[in-house]
Amino acid sequence: MSEQIRLENLTIFMQRRAVKHVYLRVHPPDGRVTLVAPTGMRLEVVRAFVTAKLDWIHKQQAKLQAQVREVPRQFIGGESHTVWGRHYVLQVVEKSAGPCVLMDQQTITLQVRPGSDLFKRAAVMHAWHKSLLHAVVPDLIGKWQDRLGVSVSAYFLQQMKTRWGSCNTRRRHIRLNTDLVRKPQDLLEYVVVHELVHLIEPSHNKRFVGLMDQHYPAWREATAELNQIPLSAIRPRG
């Protein structure tokens, strides 16, 4: 059952579970704050923890308020693009050379051949997104294979219209939505855990819920956060 903590002008929705640590989240799009606390932690300790995090909470809420709602991507200069939960300004450079994508602290530079259309630009960005995911997914799979005692034979990245991931339990394959590159990396990790737990329990039954509660206690908050963020509006052909 959810409890509420009031601090300054904030309402924090708290749930107690059999966890070792406190999990605090600020959810898009409206900045709602939730907290998962260990069952035996005293309320004054929880309040002290939240008080110490007030500046961080306010900063996260301010970022959410500043975000522009998702619009169809045209892949032109000045657009806002998101990678690992951070916003960057897109710069497009037309050059008679192989296409590529570069990123610094504030800018993503998309280099394409002169005359490249919307779908060609989208395809170049999609390939770059996949490279970013390939750089981190194997380590996440390795980490959680060991913890869960399961084995993945292969993983695949693709754009999906309605799912963040899927699992073929017979072949021990998992598939991950390439849109996950736009989300904070902890949400990518949650999806990896979710799919690997299906190798133990294929259904979304009580056993599955119990395994998620045991291994990734903040999974409900992660699910809600993922479902509140829209998928990409433009998809490459093919």
Interior/surface letters 173-203, b for 16+ CB within 10 angstroms, e for the rest: ebbbbbbbbbbbeebbbbbbbbbbbbbebee
Tokens 């059999």 belong to residue: 18
% of residues, the chain, pLDDT over 90: 68
Tens digit of pLDDT for each residue in 44-98? 999 999 999 999 999 888 877 765 455 677 899 999 999 998 999 999 999 999 9
User: What domains can be seen in the chain, in order of their start residue?
Assistant: 3-66 (no CATH), 80-227 (3.30.2010.10)
pLDDT tens string 215-226: 999 998 888 888
End-to-end CA distance of the chain: 46
Has residue 231 got a pLDDT over 90?
Answer: no
Indicate the helix (H) or strand (E) that contains 90.
strand 86-94
- pTM (global) more than 0.85: no
The whole-angstrom separation of Cα 142 and Cα 185 is: 16
